[in-house]
Amino acid sequence: MYDVISTVIMAGLLGAQLVLTLVLLKGDICPGQRGRLHKAFWFLVAGWAIVTPFSSFSALPFIALGIFSLRSKSGKTRQSGPIPVLHLANGFAVLAVLMAAVEQGLTTGLLMLSQVLLVGAVTAHYLLVKARSRLQAFHRILPVVGIFAAMMMALMLAVSSAMLSDQESAALVSTILTSLGLVLLGVCIWAMHLMRQTPPHVAQLGVAFCVLLSASTIAIAPFM
């Protein structure tokens, strides 16, 4: 079970890391937001530390991202941390996820791709709201990315089930339906601020993260 959870977490960490990098490099953010965004990277450092015992390659993004976070100012600043180190950490993160996908096989690898978008986007959204980001476009775009990733995940599960025997597919019906039901619930919670036309809330995104993490874990477990 720990291997399954670590696989999902790795995929989510990669997606969140790429989104935060995009915000840091291309977003129109003030000095205060930049400092709070630097703090958010520590959450990802902790995540890579958690999965390192289950994937030796995860030590690479853990070390590189840790160095970036240590050398970044957490107060008001107009200067980003050492960007080349951040790019190196992103490259190591991609390598870690790719190696995990190769080790687990094609089916798990395809499901991990959808989790990079799904779990990664909701993690990044949670961290951006926690950092009090004023980039309103991301509050609209990231839930839409989540909806796309949910549809992609459903398609991947359908294709993966079709590759199994009739007996194996029948045994997975309840698991797949449970996973998809949780994905639908998680995405609805995530996009609630869009439907109500209100600002997103940390508690709302935290609940959505937990639901989607559970859904992804349930979905990928039978194929590992």
Q: Which domains does the chain carry?
A: 2-223 (1.20.1630)
Q: Is-contact 4 112, C-beta < 8 A? A: no
CB 120 within 8 A of CB 18: yes
3-class DSSP assignment, residue 133: coil
Tell me what pLDDT residue 4 has. 80
pLDDT by residue for the chain (224 residues), tens digit each? Answer: 677 888 899 999 999 999 999 999 887 787 888 888 999 999 999 999 999 998 888 999 999 999 999 998 877 777 777 899 999 999 999 999 998 888 877 777 788 888 999 999 999 999 999 988 877 888 889 999 999 999 988 888 887 777 766 676 677 788 888 999 999 999 999 999 888 888 889 999 999 999 999 999 988 877 66
How confident is the model at residue 189, as a pLDDT? Answer: 95
| Separation CA 157–CA 19 (nearest Å) | 25
The reply to whether the predicted model has a pTM over 0.95 is: no
